């Protein structure tokens, strides 16, 4: 498996572990000191790995993912990076609940 995909999978697993330790996505995002910042940084790292795949023209690998999921990863990264204090936790919760499992499943299929 491509190194970027391994890193994305690792970041998703870490986010899942943080959520599990906190008991819920909501509780994890309410922890402003540790869990929320960690989750946000891992989401940024996921988007950066997708960017590396695009930059390396790994179109065959990228074809296994829905284009909207990849665009969404970039949008979330930009949202976090440019308005960190104003991050909409409901949006982040939806990403964790809905999109990360899809991306993880796509990686595992590869």
What is the model's pLDDT at position 1?
Answer: 64
Q: What is the pTM of this model?
A: 0.93
Listed in sequence order, the residues at least 6 apart from 107 whose beta carbon sits closer than 8 Å to its beta carbon are 1, 5, 8, 9, 64
Q: How far apart are CA 94 and CA 100, in angstroms?
A: 9
Question: For residue 84, what pLDDT is reported?
Answer: 66
| Cβ-proximal residues to 102 (8 Å cutoff; 6+ apart), any chain | 66, 69
Query: Closest by alpha carbon to 100, among 73, 82, 64, 63?
Result: 73
The structural domains of the chain, with segments of one domain joined by +, span 3-109
Which stretches of the chain score pLDDT less than 50? Answer: none
Both structure tokens of 29: 């995002």
pLDDT the model gives residue 88: 87
């Amino acid at each position: 498996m491509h190194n970027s995909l391994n890193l994305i999978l690792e970041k998703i697993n870490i986010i899942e572990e943080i959520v599990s330790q906190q008991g819920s996505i909501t509780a994890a995002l309410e922890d402003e000191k540790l869990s929320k910042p960690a989750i946000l940084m891992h989401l940024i790292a996921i988007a950066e790995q997708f960017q590396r795949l695009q930059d390396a023209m790994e179109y065959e690998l990228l074809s296994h993912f829905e284009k909207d999921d990849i665009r969404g990863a970039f949008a979330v990264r930009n949202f976090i990076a440019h308005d960190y204090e104003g991050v909409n936790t409901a949006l982040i919760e939806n990403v964790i609940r809905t999109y990360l499992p899809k991306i993880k499943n796509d990686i595992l299929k590869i």
